[in-house]
Amino acid sequence: MADLDDDELLEALGIEVTPAKAGSRTPREERIIAGFEDILRFFDAHKRAPQHGEGRDIFERLYAVRLDQLRKLPEAHALLAELDKPGLLSGAPATPGNVDALSEDALLAELGVSSDPTNQSDITVLRHVRSHAERQVAEEIADRTPCKDFDKFQPRFERAERELNGGVRKAIPFKGEASVEQGNFFIVGGQFAYVAEKDKEFPTSSGQPDARLRLIYGNGTESNLLMRSLQKALTKDGNGRRLSEPDAGPLFGPQFGDTAEPDDIETGTIYVLRSLSKHPFVSEHRMLIHKIGVTGSEVATRIADAENQATYLLAPVEIVAEYKLHNLNRTKMESVFHRLFGAVQLDLTIEDRFGKPVKPREWFVVPLHVIDEAVERIRDGSITQFVYDPQSARLTGDRQAPA
């Protein structure tokens, strides 16, 4: 075979030789493409176009302005047509302005893209851009979605705010690597935030502990972010605060005796559960039927096997409220609730796993807000002066009212 030069060899192999285009994009076009790619990355992460609004992250607001200007720029539609698979440029601009009146530098400034000729080697650099780590924290904090079960958490926020205003809780400045635990309340970005869930901790690359959180905000949204992201946000926020646990002092005081008893708990939890049973009566009145109990251990551990226990109606349950209290006696505490809500105790008999009829105790047909008020009365020591009136569904100070 005769020696072939490179082009002849490629042709013999069936490979078409196309001269490379040199300088096919102007610096302006490259910068516009780079800016739109940031918007596409946002779309891929959030499954929606960036939006305006003071409550949104600064980067999302920046991308929203950029997208508005690109939509008004005929040149961008042709330039970005192949990239715009989601059809982001087809929407109407959400902000006013005449793009034709802007100079190139003004347009690029509006898009958030640097036009500094000394920086043309890095066309993707934006003005005012923080480090990747800082941006990741900001985006995680801002990546909020509506909390579908917020009604479950709203009473806790209302109670925490009352306790803060009444001096029962204190707002303490958040410092450095302070702990974050399930059940903690914080103030971040001017909003109350509640740690509803905390996954198992794991070490970061630097050896620091981290964990995924479910964080519920007082405005009815939630986010799924890392513990260290929350810690960083609280530390950088000059007004970031932790809410202290309620300082209730001894629960019952002298009227219950000062001598320690075998069933005393130094720090315990009153918990309220809601059944997920498919029993017809429970299903119909689910939002009113609650189990009230007291434990010195973790509530989640106590209910782990609920579907196999008759005391939990042989069905899964959800925790709708927890109240941390000090110096309480489990037996006496449960007796208080039975005295208070005995008239509305759930009258339901079910069969256990062995077919034996069982009538679970500690389940009451009473609204959650009444239970919440009862715990407040326990904390301030006035509970012995109140009874529950089923007709009006409220606590009353009249000792002659129906009990």
Residue 175, Cβ neighbours under 10 Å: how many? 11
Quick one: 160 and 98 in the same domain?
Answer: no
Give the residue among 368, 372, 371, 350 at the shortest CA–CA distance from 359: 350
> From first to last of its 403 residues, what are the pLDDT tens digits of the chain?
555 565 665 566 555 545 444 446 787 788 888 888 888 888 888 888 888 876 676 677 778 888 888 888 888 888 898 888 888 888 766 554 444 444 545 545 544 444 444 444 333 334 444 444 444 444 444 467 888 889 888 888 888 888 787 777 788 888 765 678 888 899 988 889 999 998 888 887 777 788 889 999 988 889 888 888 888 888 887 788 888 876 544 444 433 333 444 445 556 788 999 999 888 888 888 899 999 988 877 888 888 888 888 888 889 999 998 888 776 677 778 778 888 888 888 888 887 777 778 778 789 999 999 998 888 888 777 887 888 888 888 898 754 444 3
Asked, for residue 364, whether it belongs to a domain, the answer is yes
Of 243, 272, 304, the residue at which a domain comes to its end is 243
Q: What distance in Å separates the CA atoms of residue 265 and residue 382, rounded to the nearest whole number? A: 21
Amino acid code (one letter) for 211: A
Q: What distance in Å separates the CA atoms of residue 303 and residue 296, rounded to the nearest whole number? A: 13
Quick one: 210 and 279 in the same domain?
Answer: no
Quick one: 171 and 98 in the same domain?
Answer: no
Residue 249 CA from chain centroid, whole number: 30
Asked, for residue 47, whether it belongs to a domain, the answer is yes
Asked, for residue 20, whether it belongs to a domain, the answer is no
Instruction: List own/partner pairs for 115-124 with CB under 8 A and 24 or more apart.
Output: 115/31, 120/27, 123/27, 123/30, 123/31, 123/34, 124/34, 124/37, 124/38
Q: For position 195, what pLDDT does the model report? A: 92
Q: For position 8, what pLDDT does the model report? A: 61
Structural domains of the chain, count: 3
Quick one: 288 and 352 in the same domain?
Answer: yes
What are the residues whose beta carbons fall under 8 Å from the beta carbon of 73, sequence distance 6 or more?
32, 99, 107
Q: For position 6, what pLDDT does the model report? A: 58
Asked, for residue 256, whether it belongs to a domain, the answer is no
Of 214, 243, 272, the residue at which a domain comes to its end is 243
Q: Is the dihedral of CA 277, 279, 283, 289 positive or negative?
A: negative
Asked, for residue 19, whether it belongs to a domain, the answer is no
Q: For position 273, what pLDDT does the model report? A: 93
pTM: 0.39
Quick one: 89 and 155 in the same domain?
Answer: no
Of 129, 159, 192, the residue at which a domain comes to its end is 129
Residue 208, Cβ neighbours under 10 Å: how many? 12
Quick one: 266 and 302 in the same domain?
Answer: yes
Quick one: 287 and 227 in the same domain?
Answer: no
Per the CB < 8 A criterion, the answer to whether 42 and 50 are in contact is yes
Q: What distance in Å separates the CA atoms of residue 332 and residue 321, rounded to the nearest whole number? A: 20
Quick one: 37 and 118 in the same domain?
Answer: yes
| Domain region containing 306 | 261-396
Amino acid code (one letter) for 53: G
Q: For position 291, what pLDDT does the model report? A: 93
Quick one: 327 and 213 in the same domain?
Answer: no
Quick one: 387 and 266 in the same domain?
Answer: yes
Q: What distance in Å separates the CA atoms of residue 275 and residue 260, rounded to the nearest whole number? A: 34
What are the residues whose beta carbons fall under 8 Å from the beta carbon of 29, sequence distance 6 or more?
79
Question: Would you state the structure tokens that stand for residue 125, as one six-digit string?
Answer: 């650099």
Asked, for residue 4, whether it belongs to a domain, the answer is no
**Residue-level length of the chain:** 403
Asked, for residue 299, whether it belongs to a domain, the answer is yes
Q: Residue by residue, what is the 3-state secondary structure of the chain?
A: CCCCCHHHHHHHCCCCCCCCCCCCCCHHHHHHHHHHHHHHHHHHHHCCCCCCCCCCCHHHHHHHHHHHHHHCCHHHHHHCCCCCCCCHHHCCCCCCCCHHHCCHHHHHHHHCECCCHHHCCCCCCECCCCCHHHHHHHHHHHCCEECCCHHHHHHHHHHHHHHHHCCCCCEEECCCCCCCCCCCEEEECCEEEEEEEECCCEECCCCCEECEEEEEECCCEEEEEEHHHHHHHHHHCCCCEEECCCCCCCCCCHHHCCCCCCCEEEEEEEEEEEECCCCHHHHHCCCCEEEEEEECCCHHHHCCCHHHCHHHCCCCEEEEEEEEEEEEEHHHHHHHHHHHHHHHECCCCEECCCCCEECCCCEEECCHHHHHHHHHHHHHCCHHHCEEECCCCEEECCCCCCC
| Cross-strand pairs, 213 | 198, 225
Asked, for residue 310, whether it belongs to a domain, the answer is yes
Quick one: 285 and 312 in the same domain?
Answer: yes
pLDDT digits (tens, 9 = 90+) for 323-363: 887 766 777 787 788 888 888 888 888 877 777 787 787 89
Quick one: 287 and 388 in the same domain?
Answer: yes
